[in-house]
Amino acid sequence: MLVETERQRWPFVPLVGVGPLRFGMSRDQVVDQVAVTLGAGPEFETPGDWITFSDPNSFARPLTTYFSAAGGLACVAVDARHGPQVTLGHLSLVGQVPSKLEEEFSDHMSAQGLDEAIRYSQFGDLGTDALGVVLRAQRVGDVVLSRPVFVVREWADMVWDAWEGTIPMKEWHVYC
């Protein structure tokens, strides 16, 4: 697992993108950008749907990206162990203890006047349509840490809902 100082820091711009990745980018643009910034390349992919990236030197899988039917980047899931640190203001969203992050995230949302926008998935993961993010939990050895999933505006409605939201079911089954 990466220690905090080894992680790249990527800002989250709600409903726009994560770090150098902007929603709507093509598969080729995403592959190129991840290769340049993380040194990772596609490991698993399905035509038109998703790509999991891996680091050829460590076999770590820092990101999984999902694409809309139109082919543009629509969703980014960041691995708790090996992903970059994604920030929202002063909050670090990746690799955190879920209960602590939930409290900090709720405080952040309240400060923005968005405390009514917080919802929970059927798996107990906190999410919000307003920002297009769900803070999933990922098992890392004997602990559970945060694995945030960020989505484009068109996918934000019910982002927290595993059954009726737009995040692919494959993502909801990762690390359950």
Going by pLDDT thresholds of 50, 70 and 90, the confidence category of residue 72 is very high
Q: Is the pLDDT of residue 95 over 60?
A: yes
Q: Is the pLDDT of residue 154 over 60?
A: yes
9 Cβ contact list (under 8 Å, min separation 6): 84, 85, 87
Q: Is the pLDDT of residue 4 over 90?
A: no
DSSP class of residue 6?
G
Collapsing DSSP to helix, strand or coil, 132 comes out as coil
Collapsing DSSP to helix, strand or coil, 34 comes out as helix
pLDDT tens-digit series, residues 124-153:
999 999 999 999 999 988 999 999 999 999
Q: Mean per-residue pLDDT for 106-117?
A: 93
Q: Is the pLDDT of residue 175 over 80?
A: no
Instruction: Write down the pTM of the prediction.
Output: 0.92
Q: What is the pLDDT of residue 17?
A: 98
Q: Is the pLDDT of residue 59 over 60?
A: yes
pLDDT tens-digit series, residues 5-57:
778 899 999 999 999 999 999 999 999 999 888 887 788 766 668 788 887 77
Structure tokens at 27: 């598969």
Please name every residue paired with 21 in a beta bridge, in sequence order, or none if there are none. Answer: 18
Q: What is the pLDDT of residue 45?
A: 64
Q: Which amino acid is at 163?
A: W
- Annotated domain spans of the chain: 8-173
Q: Which residues of 55-88 are buried (b: 16+ CB within 10 A; e: fewer)?
A: eeeeebbbbbbbbbeeebbbbbbbbbbbbbbbbb
Q: Mean per-residue pLDDT for 82-101?
A: 96
| Mean of all residue pLDDT scores within the chain | 91
Please name every residue paired with 19 in a beta bridge, in sequence order, or none if there are none. Answer: none
Structure tokens at 54: 């891996």
